[in-house]
Structure 1
Amino acid sequence: MYTVKEAAALLGLTEHTVRYYTDKGLVPSVKRDKNNNRLFDEESMNWLTGVKYLKQCGMSIETIREYVRLCLEGDKTIGERCQIILDQRETARRNFEEAKQCLAYMERKAEHYLDILEKRLPDDTNPGKWRKDADRVS
């Protein structure tokens, strides 16, 4: 059995996050000791691990709660659970494409700044100077 602190450390979560997930009903097998402290066995660690990854993939707490509920209902809900995962996969793909675009933009900007720092280009990145430079050109 693991305490909140131990479970958090093992999974790379904060203790607050572990408590939050259990309070939201996302770890249905979590146990309590005589002092009402949460205790995590292997099953509850599996639930917690699953929740961690679903959340990292951008799934909402409400959708994770629905997914957990469906899991608890058993094999008859495999199709519904699969659809939740397929929907989240599509969201993850869209987010990945956006992240690739952002990274490409930041790479171009960083390269531009490096060119400025190495005096290959004048500083054209400061909007406060644009009007002044435009006035000088005219």
Structure 2
Amino acid sequence: MYYTIKQFAKMFHTTEHTIRYYTDINLLPCQRDGGNRRIFDEESINWMQGITCLKGCGASIEDIKEYCNLCRLPEEKENLIARYQIILRSRKQAYKRVEEARKTAKYMDEKVKHYEDILAGAAPDDTNPRSWTAENRPQHH
């Protein structure tokens, strides 16, 4: 089965521009139809799933390019080790993002509780940035 760029972008919750960029920099393989329009097949889906996963971990475009290039090389131990190193770096970045998300969620839990206290009349409304000073400005940790 073949997919248009519009279908493919929708499938991966991204933009057509992003898909074009990935094909232009040789991350994502595609074919062309009779009108020279990009079309995508099951192999394209496989590549895009890998790209999406690495991107979601916080891998740089350079790392994703390197990973894709290594995947296109012969299956040799050296190439496997190089891909493994990229995966290790990406996993480390993923865990860092998880920790940052936990901290942000905790901060937002505190904000929700603060707003609930204000709405219940248990605390004054100090949430508007227009009324903050250097002394009473909330700090994000």
More helix by share: 1
SS at match of 1:122: coil
Distance 1:98 1:129, change over 3 A: closer
RMSD between superposed Cα atoms in Å: 2.1
**Structure 2 gap segments, 5+ residues each:** 135-141
Segments of structure 1 that go 5 or more residues without pairing to the other structure are 132-138
TM-score under structure 1 length normalisation: 0.84
| The structure with more radius of gyration | 1
Deviations 1:33-78 (A, max 9, x none): 2322111121122112211222122111111111000000132211
Cα distance in 2 for partners of 1:19, 1:118 equals 52
Distance in 2, Cα, partners of 1:2 & 1:125: 48
The 10-residue stretch of structure 1 (47-56 or 99-108) with the greater mean CA deviation from structure 2: 47-56
CA distance in 2, matches of 1:14, 1:101: 30
Aligned: 1:15 with 2:16: yes
- How far is 1:11 from its partner? 2.3
Distance in 2 separating the partners of 1:53 and 1:83: 15
1:56 counterpart residue number: 56
- Classify 1:23/1:129 alpha carbon distance in 2 versus 1 (closer, same or farther; 3 Å): closer
Match of residue 112 from structure 1: 114
* Distance in structure 1 (CA, Å) of the matches to 2:125 and 2:7: 51
* 1:91 counterpart = 2:105: no
Decide whether aligned partners of structure 1 residues 114 and 35 sit closer, same or farther in structure 2, where only a CA change above 3 A counts: same
Q: 1:80 offset after TM fit, Å?
A: 0.7
Equivalent AA in structure 1 for residue 67 of structure 2 = Y
CA distance in 1, matches of 2:54, 2:10: 18
Percentage identity across paired residues of the two chains: 48
Matches within 5 A, 1:32-71: 32-71=32-71
Q: Which deviates more, 119-128 or 18-27?
A: 119-128
Count of paired positions? 131
Distance 2:38 2:102 in 1: 40
